[in-house]
Amino acid sequence: MEQVREFMINVVDKSVQRLIQNNLKIESFSLTMPIADPNLIWLVDRWMELVLNYGAREIVLSVSTHPHTSKTHYILPQTIFRVKSLSTSSKFCSLQKLYLSKVYISENIIQDIIRNCPNITDFHLWNFLGLKAVRISNLDKLEYLSVGVLECNRELETVHIDAVKLQGFRTYMPNLPAYGISFTSFCNLKQLSLNKCQITDDILHLHLSKFPLLERLQIFNCHMLRRVRIFAQRLRCLRLGGFTMAEVIEIDCPTLSSFVYSASSTPVLISKNVPFAMDIEHRPPRCELISSWFLELREDLRFSYQSKNFALKFVKLAQVSFDLEELGDVQIPPLSEVDDLEITWTAMIESLVCEPLMDGLLWCCHPRTISLPSNVYQYNCIKLLCEKLLGTKTPTCCNSTRIRCWRHDFKGAKIEILGEVEGEWPHGWNHLVDPLPALAKDRGVRFQLEWDY
């Protein structure tokens, strides 16, 4: 603490005093102090006052009176900001975009903003404290609005928004019950993003029915949703996922051109009138995978008869077993088309784990390509796929009589190195199959597969 005191008195205070004595104009003031002496915090107040009086237009402060904790933040001196706040009678008629983040704000200030800034088109109110109710109306030009609170904010009870021209709305309200939200006049809404909202199936469906022009929809981490129906006649982009407990997702969107489902669970996905290739991203929640997981995955991939891209992200994979005999007498779902199977690791995977994994994945779907993006952990997987698909190792086929393994439909494969031209490699890539895993360890590779359907 002695060093902190020394720093505050002899370094910062003296520097600020010197600037002022030399009558220098201060444009920007930035101060980072993970620990400040609580007994000298009045010095920070004084620096703020001085630099503001000397014309500072930008102040960046990161000051805490306790190390490694955000419990004791520095509190901005109210006297400095009151006269400069928006609660004066002046109008800000030219102001179009207002971003407020990490602020303590009252309902009166919100009403002052609405009254004094009538031409706002973009309003971003994020990570705020101090409000029980958010009421936004009478901003006739408002087109984009974001409202989000901190995870710890339990004081917000209602959000009411009335904005007839609103085109985009983004929200993050982890603790607000769904009945606390009301939207009126959202008939022009084109973009909607809901993250961590306690929204139920019925309320979501009710809202969606009121947004006939909706083109982009994102729903993430809304854990109360179970049976989700997305019927939207003009929807072009749909992203769903995060922490979700949805069991069924039904999509009826004739103009959809992009769909990304990214989550650790795989609900039943039912698509109707969806004329495009889908992007599905899946993060297996377990680090041990058994044969029945592959059976479920094969079933899940069937939901769409159209082609799709399927991305798998593995955080950690300790053990994998895939044995067709273990599946017993279950009904085996037919294969579905997958354009590209993309596999990403975020940790080193052992060859012993990789082998049953690839056998299982190739049995779940017969992808046209398998992509391994550039990643330091992919060495073992490239090596194994070279052995399996490019024939550097004699394959062992299944012993199963009822259910056949992927090799029975497999005709051959070629490899390419992403971002490189094959002609620049002396004898082509397939010639490099043995040294390739080492050569390609910091490049992405793609296998092109041919199947006999």
Q: Contact positions toward Zn ion, by CB under 5 A?
A: 397-398, 405, 407
Largest pairwise CA distance in the chain: 90
For Zn ion, which is the closer residue by CB, 11 or 397?
A: 397
CB of 333 to Zn ion, least distance (A): 18
CB of 395 to Zn ion, least distance (A): 9
CB of 299 to Zn ion, least distance (A): 21
**Pair of tokens at residue 405:** 């393994």
8 Å CB contact between 223 and 240? no
Q: How far is the CB of 297 from Zn ion (least distance, A)?
A: 19
CB of 402 to Zn ion, least distance (A): 11
Shortest spacing between CB 321 and Zn ion, in angstroms: 17
Q: Could you write out the DSSP letters of every residue in 51-81?
A: HHHTT--EEEEEEBSSTT-SSSBPPPPHHHH
The neighbour count for residue 338, using CB atoms within 10 Å, is: 22
Q: Please identify, using beta-carbon distances, which residue of 382 and 405 lies nearer to Zn ion.
A: 405
Cα–Cα distance for residue pair 405/129, rounded to 1 Å: 58
**Alpha carbon distances (Å) from 96 to 35, 107, 140:** 38, 20, 12
In the complex, the smallest distance separating the C-beta of residue 330 from Zn ion, rounded to whole angstroms, is 18
- Least distance CB 355 / Zn ion (angstroms): 15
> CB within 8 A of 115, min separation 6: which ones?
none
Closest CA to 449 of 413, 417, 419: 413
Contact assessment for residue 176 and residue 148, using Cβ atoms and an 8 Å cutoff = no
Residue 393: what residue type? K
Tokens standing for residue 381: 């997987």
In this structure, are residues 380 and 354 in contact, taking their beta carbons and an 8 Å threshold?
yes
Closer CB to Zn ion, 144 or 410, in the complex: 410
- Looking up tokens 């072009």, which residue turns up? 236
How is residue 144 written in tokens? 């984009």
Phi and psi at 331, nearest 5°, equal: -70, 125
- Give whichever of 270 and 398 is closer to Zn ion, judged by the CB atom: 398
Q: How far is the CB of 399 from Zn ion (least distance, A)?
A: 8
Q: Which is nearer to Zn ion, 138 or 400 (CB)?
A: 400
Q: Is 453 exposed, middle or buried (0-12, 13-18, 19+ CB in 10 A)?
A: exposed
Residue closer to Zn ion (CB basis): 59 or 398:
398
Q: Which is nearer to Zn ion, 145 or 357 (CB)?
A: 357
The residues pairing with 259 across neighbouring beta strands, listed in sequence order, are 238
Q: Hey, how many other C-beta atoms are within 10 angstroms of the C-beta on 21?
A: 8
Tell which residue, 302, 284, 305, has the closest CA to residue 293.
284
> What is the edge-to-edge ordering of all strands in the sheet holding 248-252?
227-231, 248-252, 268-272
Residue 397: CB minimum distance to Zn ion, A: 4
Q: Which is nearer to Zn ion, 100 or 398 (CB)?
A: 398
CB of 403 to Zn ion, least distance (A): 9
* CB of 19 or CB of 403, closer to Zn ion: 403
HSE-CB of 44 using CA atoms within 13 angstroms: 26
Please say whether the beta carbons of 67 and 3 come within 8 A.
no
Nearer to Zn ion by Cβ, of 268 and 327: the residue is 327
Q: With respect to Zn ion, which residue has the nearer C-beta, 347 or 397?
A: 397
Nearest to 17 by CA among 35, 56, 43, 55: 43
- Provide φ and ψ at 208, rounded to 5°: -60, -35
